[in-house]
Amino acid sequence: MPIIARFHGLVIKMYFQQAEHNPPHFHVMYGEYMGAFDIQTLAMLEGDLPAKSQALVREWASRYQDELLQIWNTQEFVQLPPLS
């Protein structure tokens, strides 16, 4: 699973087997916590990521939502900037 971005201890990854993993989403790892986020709604689909980390992920993902969807649709790996 390629790493899309890293910031504040969060690691953002995405699978590239779209037919098997709908809806479009990305995965977040933070220490022993993890979560999967819907790209279109930014809702956490599953996981146990702490609320503060979820807020950081949503802030980052809202900035790069178009790029995340493009990565999902084309399955072309692109590393995105971190949240500053």
What mean pLDDT is predicted for residues 10-27?
A: 82
Helices (H), the chain: 51-63, 65-74
Specify burial of residue 48 (Cβ count, 10 A radius: 0-12, 13-18, 19+).
exposed
Each residue of 28-76: pLDDT tens digit? 999 999 999 999 999 999 999 999 999 999 999 999 999 999 999 898 9
| Rounded Cα gap, residues 84 and 70, in angstroms | 22
Q: What is the pLDDT of residue 30?
A: 98
Given a cut of 90, is residue 19 above it in pLDDT?
no
